[in-house]
Amino acid sequence: MKHTTMKKMIALALATIMLVALCACGGGSSEPEAGASAEAFKLGGTGPLTGGAAIYGNAAKNGAQIAVDEINAMGGIQFELKYEDDAHDAEKAVNAYNALKDWGMQLSLGSVTSAPANATSAEGFADRIFSLTPSASAPTVIEGKDNMFQMCFLDYPTQGGASAQYISDMQLGEKIGIIWKNDEDYSTGLRNSFVDKAEELGLTIVAESTFTEDNNDFSVQLTEMQNAGADLVFLPMYYQPASLIFAQANAMGYAPKWFGVDGMDGILTMEGFDPTLAEGVMLLTPFNADSTDEATQAFVAKYQELYNEIPNQFAADAYDCIYAYKQALEAAGATPDMSAEELNDLMIQQFTSMTFDGLTGTGMTWDATGAVSKSAHGMVIQDGAYVGLD
Amino acid sequence: MTFLNYLLSGISLGSIYAIIALGYTMVYGIAKMLNFAHGDVIMVGAYICFFAVSRFALPPLVGVLAAMAVCTVLGILVERLAYKPLRAAPSLAVLITAIGVSYFLQNGAQLLWTPNPKVFSSVVGTGRLALFGGQLTVSYVTITTIVSCIVIMVALTLFTGNTKMGKAMRACSEDKGAAQLMGINVNSTISVTFAIGSGLAAIAGVLLCSAYPNLVPTTGSMPGIKAFTAAVFGGIGSIPGAFLGGLLLGVIEIFAKAYISTQLSDAVVFAVLIVVLLVKPTGLLGKQIREKV
């Protein structure tokens, strides 16, 4: 008796799980079914659409979708876009990648975040599927893989160095402190390149402190900075921990100059965030949603209309990826009936020779390693908005 | 002074663990089950308070009460739908169901409220009490949390010791079968336990987010696990044990960060837990229960 009840319960639980899973899938895939048309290029990408990093994956997916819709409406080259969820997990990313390959993906948008991108780029390299990742900035994503390219502003070894250069040029701080997240490739890479460049330039780093995932209490790190007398603190991290650091430093009465990185973008659009906490925060960034540039404004307006929020850099990078593909495919005269391998060779040729203008920069070029070269702008947050520093 | 500052930081962090641990330990003590969804009920409470205060501009106190009301109903619902049908099942099945409920709440919150982080504005203000001419400071959130912990502790002890429902709860915790024979409605007693535990979770959620104002659907999970550790540390099932365990865990964590390594702090915390459990298997204030064979 007891046994059958248990069985029923398990059956019910399984049924519920399947139902939930079905609903989840139903919500995410508005794309046409596999093999629906031979007129469109099949573009696939993986990103965290659920879980803690979902904000980045969804932003990239939405940004890419806007570009695809615009391009399809123009006639000419047609795209079919499919994003699979990798939940910011390398193993799930490989499964997602394989699902896309079965679907018939011809060109890839890689993965949105670095750890999954490391895994999927190895697969894409072996399968000869060309990839242009909007935002996975780890150097290991493209290292030694001739068909892996990046759209994100300055792969981070450059960004960390550029930040140090900027601080030195503008004489922003005498004693520099760094708080970084040492269980994350992004933060560690930025910190390393910053420190290397800072030593070269003779900047004084008085304190360094680290934190890890799920850490909410920064009192120890901030006390270390304060005790060392740091007058400028470099924060190579995403905006979520940064918002906690600002709030806790403010409560402690510690007010150094803050210097962020591109991951800081998004802090002002956090619901409920008090912008006075981020007053005077400086950062280098290629995309600014408040820009007066016409293309940027049109993109921001469309994104807001469709998704009810201000797009961040991930969305802009993904948007640019699609247009870069369009330009390269047109220049190469590629057609959708070509195999992934044929397209792969054409794209390597095109990307290493073309110049691309997008939302996140003008005159972008790629070298043979797959790294993009574009310039960053110094920005400072004033009265709750980004203002150009130069 | 730096040492004292670290100590105060530890107490601040510990007081948050303590208030979450109280809910864990209360449910475990009576229903004898580990409600791993407790951390996620905390998250729901924080969201409700956030929407009440930020979106509908209600006073913070109303926000807290609304969060408590919603969480209490949620707790009863979860108990009715997920745990009650498993009353006769092995405890492992209930444990796994609790983990399932935890994921269900997290993903539900993500669908309803998007994964974008929200910034919670503290219900007691961001001010700090300065001591020794400003060399030491304690935030109002910490003071509120510690006072709330003590009030809840005393109230729970009085409630379980003196009221009829409290006595029924203790009876159920000792022997469900015998309690039923004595005419106690075991099912409704356990439902009341969940209702109280979830109401406490709402308070914990509001205070957690007042101290660390970042609100995402996974906000409750890590503090939930740490608080569970704190409850085991202090002796799970023991109400003062949860308070002591929480405070000690917070202080150890901050000291480990400050004097050993910011990376290894969690490892140090869990190592201390292992040592305590080796020496005193029922936790610091846990009762020694002799198993009848």
What pLDDT is recorded for position A322? 95
Mean pLDDT of A95-107: 94
Cβ-defined contact of B262 to A20 (cutoff 8 Å): no
In a domain, B240, yes or no: no
Residue A60: closest CA among A376, A362, A311, A299: A311
Cβ-defined contact of A5 to B115 (cutoff 8 Å): no
Provide the residue type at A191 as one letter: R
The predicted-structure confidence for B168-178, as pLDDT tens digits, reads as follows 998 988 888 89
Best B206, B257, B260, B268 residue to mutate vs chain A (most A CBs within 10 Å): B257
Residue written as token pair 């429902």: B165
DSSP A122-152: HHHHHHT--EEESS---GGGTTT-TTEEE-S
Residues, chain A:
390
What pLDDT is recorded for position A305? 92
What pLDDT is recorded for position B76? 93
The predicted-structure confidence for A145-175, as pLDDT tens digits, reads as follows 899 998 886 555 678 888 888 888 888 888 9
- Which of B110, B137, B262 has the CB atom closest to A54's CB atom? B110
Contact A189, A160 (CB under 8 A): yes
What pLDDT is recorded for position A12? 60
Report the gap between the CA of B48 and the closest CA in chain A (Å): 14
What pLDDT is recorded for position A30? 40
Fold of A156-285: Rossmann fold (3.40.50)
User: Does the beta carbon of A243 lie under 8 angstroms from any beta carbon of chain B?
Assistant: yes
d(CA A40, CA A35): 10
| Domain range enclosing B141 | 16-220
Question: What is chain A's mean pLDDT, rounded?
Answer: 84
The predicted-structure confidence for B30-80, as pLDDT tens digits, reads as follows 888 888 899 999 999 999 999 999 888 899 899 999 999 999 999 999 999
In a domain, B250, yes or no: no
Q: How many domains are contained in chain B?
A: 1
Q: Tokens for B35?
A: 């409600």
Question: What is chain B's mean pLDDT, rounded?
Answer: 88
In a domain, B46, yes or no: yes
A2 pLDDT above the threshold of 60: no
d(CA A145, CA A141): 8
Rg (CA), chain A: 22
More confident residue, A123 or A8: A123
- Which of B13, B104, B263 has the CB atom closest to A182's CB atom? B263
- Which of A50, A210, A273 has the CB atom closest to B107's CB atom? A50
What pLDDT is recorded for position A5? 59
In a domain, B263, yes or no: no
d(CA B245, CA B269): 11
In a domain, B2, yes or no: no
d(CA B170, CA A331): 78
Cβ-defined contact of A217 to B54 (cutoff 8 Å): no
Q: Taking CA atoms, what residue in A is nearest to B54? A: A272
Provide, as residue numbers in chain B, all residues whose Cβ is less than 8 Å from the Cβ of A314: none
Mean pLDDT of A222-233: 92
Same fold, A38-153+295-373 and A156-285: yes
ipTM of the complex: 0.82
Best B112, B116, B142, B222 residue to mutate vs chain A (most A CBs within 10 Å): B116
Provide, as residue numbers in chain B, all residues whose Cβ is less than 8 Å from the Cβ of A14: none
d(CA A254, CA A246): 9
Mean pLDDT of A229-240: 91
Mean pLDDT of A261-279: 83
Contact A318, A109 (CB under 8 A): yes
Contact B11, B167 (CB under 8 A): no
What pLDDT is recorded for position A28? 39
The superfamily (CATH) of domain A38-153+295-373 is Response regulator (3.40.50.2300)
In a domain, B252, yes or no: no
DSSP A30-69: -SPPTTS-SSEEEEEEEE-SSSTTHHHHHHHHHHHHHHHH
β partners of residue A379: A283, A388
d(CA A381, CA A246): 13
The predicted-structure confidence for B170-214, as pLDDT tens digits, reads as follows 898 888 889 989 999 998 999 999 999 999 999 999 999 998 888
- Which of B2, B13, B120 has the CB atom closest to A272's CB atom? B120
Mean pLDDT of A8-23: 56
The predicted-structure confidence for A303-317, as pLDDT tens digits, reads as follows 999 998 888 888 999
Cβ-defined contact of B88 to A5 (cutoff 8 Å): yes
In a domain, B131, yes or no: yes
| pLDDT category of residue B99 using cuts at 50, 70 and 90 | very high
Give this prediction's pTM.
0.77
User: Does the beta carbon of A210 lie under 8 angstroms from any beta carbon of chain B?
Assistant: yes
User: Does the beta carbon of A273 lie under 8 angstroms from any beta carbon of chain B?
Assistant: yes
In a domain, B248, yes or no: no
What pLDDT is recorded for position A1? 46
The sheet carrying A372-373 orders its strands as: A356-358, A361-366, A372-373
Cβ-defined contact of A50 to B50 (cutoff 8 Å): no
| Residue ranges of domains in chain A | 38-153+295-373, 156-285
Q: Tokens for B251?
A: 């202080």
Rg (CA), chain B: 19
| pLDDT category of residue A36 using cuts at 50, 70 and 90 | very low
What pLDDT is recorded for position A387? 76
The three state secondary structure string of B127-170 is CEEEECCCCEEEEHHHHHHHHHHHHHHHHHHHHHHHCHHHHHHH
The sheet carrying A204-211 orders its strands as: A204-211, A175-181, A232-234, A257-260, A282-285, A377-382, A385-388
